[in-house]
A and B are shown apart, each in its own frame.
Chain A
Amino acid sequence: MNPRMVRGRTARRRALASAAVLLTGALLASCSSDTPPDAPAAAGESQDSGGDKPSKFFERAEYERQLKLGEETPKGPEGKPWEQMLEPQMVSTAQYRKKGQGDDVHLCFSNAGVFNPWRQVGLKTMKAEVKLHEEISDFTVLDAQGKDDKQISDIQELAGNKDCDALIVSPNTTATLTPAVKEACGKLPVIVFDRGVETDCAVTFVNPIGGYGYGAVAADFLVEKVKPKGKILALRISPGVDVLETRWSAAKLAFDKSELDVADVKFTDGDPAKTKSIVADAISRHGSIDGVWMDSGATAVAAVEAFEDAGVDVPPITGEDQQDFLQVWKDKKLTAIAPTYPTFQWRTPVIAALRVLDGKSVPKEWKLPQPTVTQDNLDEYLKDGMPPLHYAMCGCQRMPGFPGDWGGKK
């Protein structure tokens, strides 16, 4: 699942909720609970900086699997990570083979929504991928606008549509969408990606290594770069979102094993202004902060500025492959690293669908690599003229229409 999706969805919901609340005359302060309705209540977890009990989101087997996957060499074409796969368990798709070679293919896609930069970049990349394949005559996208009920009816509509040869689903929430996906599986080949559903009826499930891998990469970097006893500030978006919890629980394990001291764990709601305040307060309260760990890079630039505004050096910091962070990283010569939740994964479902309709085998779970932006490959990913909220790991650099279609300048 993609955390940004949750954030975008709740932003809109909050906007409407604010209206409702005012109508009833109730008064709640600005309140920024970003917990999605499908996530477990997280109130009890607020003080996790000191808590030693493992998070209920933590699964050791999966954690170990992801760390191991991170060291694997993926199978597939070099330089095209969206076509690569890690430890694939291939399954036959002969039953879905479309009769009559040379027929035009009609792909259908039920999208959770496009309410944030990550999904925007992803959808653009997916559309560009579709254009690369001449055999795709039609590509129908239904946008659920972040609403489960709309996506359920979208999936029903597409699955019932005789023209759709295959259905791609990026589910809005896991549990709620499961029955709709199950139903669709009986009618046509289904490819799920980004976030999972609680059924394995889909022909393949496309996703990168996952949250544990992300969180561990960032934490290990700080363990290496920050001197022992250094104070770490951990900035998280919001509690109770599984993919974010996995990122943090992997990081917490790494910090617990190290000699670093996690001074604070704070939730930013993904809001740059709030992030800046939190970091400024942390600097003055602890005297100094020696490293910043983040579960997503959207507010990394704000954190960097908070150190500048406080007149102190920016310590080692982790971010993400968003353009503005990479730019600041380079301009200010930061000590930084950027694990990614790659947007190139939006290309893979299209490729997978065509393979399935061709009767070629695909992995039951198509695990994609999850590259990391480091000092060494920073220049490769930082492209001048791209918008600040662009995601560098789009795998789109050599696609037709780049950079203009992604909002960039030549």
Chain B
Amino acid sequence: MTTATATPAPHKRLARMLGTGAPVYALLAALLIVLAVTDIGFYEPDRFLAFVKRAAPLVILAAGQYLVIVCGEFDLSVGAIVTAGVVAAAEVYGSYPDAPWLLVAAGLLLAGALAGLVSGLITTRLRVPSFITTLGMMLILEGAVFYWTGGSPHGQLPQDFRQLGRGTAMGWLPWAVLACLVAGAVAVLLMRSDFGRTLIATGDNERAAALAGVRVHRARVIAFVLSGAAAALAAVLVGGFSGVSAQAGRGYEFEAITAVVLGGVVLGGGRGSVVAAMAGAFSLQALFTLLNLRGVSGALESTVQGVIVIAAVGIGAADFSRLRRRRRTHSPGGTPS
């Protein structure tokens, strides 16, 4: 029995377009409205751009994490890559204070991609679950950073390197917002390309994809490489935004995965859109800002975050299962299609 309808009703078409991301768009809209009510000045251009600038690293991380999750894997190492990136840049500048920032940034991107490549190869070739591979990668990087710096990185990040995370183009547009837009556009184009389709097919049903001619291993390795590079880009932004810190990326892997899941992307792969994942990142950042503005602090903040995340994902899941059930109960008596 097939249930495909030739001409779906407009609201159904809209629902399909939004896909599994519908709840996150609703959540994001709600949060943005509440923010506007809480703080009148929130939508002044400067402040709103500052908000996007703050969200940029997480959005980029979420886009990278999406690629890995949608093909059925995890990347727990992104937070550690951010930390390692910031610390490595500081160490490089400690030894070579005059290094050109573009070279250092490019070096970081390459190193991030390399870390992703290693995770990807170990996951696919040695068949170590990515959960373990990237957990190991996280511990290796954390330990290495610690060993290398003795807990206190040398060197300051110079202003030109920090420009990308801190400065503005043309005097008003933060570079971080531009970087975020570019990364987002690349991710969308990527997911619309053949590669994107093979990635989703891989996550949906690895065996079917392989039989259909998808080189699943290669697709997954590329996803890891891109996730690593995205994490390195986030490191450039985070380092630029807040300077040297041996804990710069702490907890970011967690936030990125939360953002992706909040965006309705199914853990295990095969379903969800990258735009929704990035919207999930914006929602998280909006939530952080809202909690900060409302004066919710300390331990309660985590609690509120947890409740909202579970509720958002839970409501999304509940809606879809009910829709499906209704369709199933109706179809026997309905018109055969």
Please report A residues at the B interface, Cβ cutoff 8 Å.
7, 11-12, 14-15, 18-19, 21-23, 25, 27-33, 35, 41-43, 45-47, 49, 114-117, 119-121, 124, 238-240, 264-267, 270-273, 275-278, 280-281, 284-285, 301-302, 305, 309, 324, 327, 387-390, 407
B305 with A31: CB separation less than 8 A: yes
B76 with A19: CB separation less than 8 A: yes
C-alpha gap A218/B131 in the complex (Å): 45
Known: A19-B135, A389-B244. 18 other contacts (CB 8 A): A19-B76, A22-B74, A29-B258, A30-B254, A35-B299, A46-B297, A47-B295, A267-B301, A271-B247, A277-B54, A277-B292, A284-B41, A324-B243, A387-B155, A388-B90, A388-B154, A388-B155, A407-B150
- B124 CB within 8 Å of chain A: no
C-alpha gap A14/B254 in the complex (Å): 10
Specify which chain A residues have a CB less than 8 angstroms from the CB of B131 in the assembled complex: 19, 22-23
Looking at the assembled complex, report how far the CB atom of B76 sits from the nearest CB atom of chain A, in whole angstroms.
Answer: 6
C-alpha gap A14/B146 in the complex (Å): 17
Given contacts A19-B131, A389-B246, contact A43 B299 (CB under 8 A): yes
- B287 CB within 8 Å of chain A: yes
- B253 CB within 8 Å of chain A: yes
C-alpha gap A319/B139 in the complex (Å): 31
C-alpha gap A29/B306 in the complex (Å): 5
B299 with A239: CB separation less than 8 A: yes
Q: Which residue of B lies closest to A389 (CB)?
A: B152
B245 with A272: CB separation less than 8 A: yes
C-alpha gap A275/B242 in the complex (Å): 9
- 18 A-B contacts (beta carbon < 8 Å): A15-B79, A27-B258, A27-B261, A28-B258, A29-B258, A31-B306, A32-B302, A43-B298, A43-B300, A119-B151, A120-B151, A238-B298, A277-B292, A280-B50, A327-B156, A388-B156, A389-B246, A407-B150
A15 with B246: CB separation less than 8 A: no
C-alpha gap A116/B297 in the complex (Å): 24
Contact of A28 among B152, B153, B309 (CB under 8 A): B309
Main secondary structure of the interface of B (DSSP, over half): helix
Looking at the assembled complex, report how far the CB atom of B292 sits from the nearest CB atom of chain A, in whole angstroms.
Answer: 5
Q: Which residue of B lies closest to A12 (CB)?
A: B142
Please report B residues at the A interface, Cβ cutoff 8 Å.
39, 41, 47, 50, 54, 74, 76, 79, 90, 94, 131, 135, 138-139, 142, 146, 149-156, 166, 238, 241-248, 250-251, 253-255, 257-258, 261, 267, 284, 287-289, 292-293, 295-303, 305-306, 308-310, 313
B289 with A281: CB separation less than 8 A: yes
Specify which chain B residues have a CB less than 8 angstroms from the CB of A240 in the assembled complex: 299
B152 with A272: CB separation less than 8 A: no
C-alpha gap A281/B242 in the complex (Å): 15
Specify which chain B residues have a CB less than 8 angstroms from the CB of A18 in the assembled complex: 76, 251, 253-254
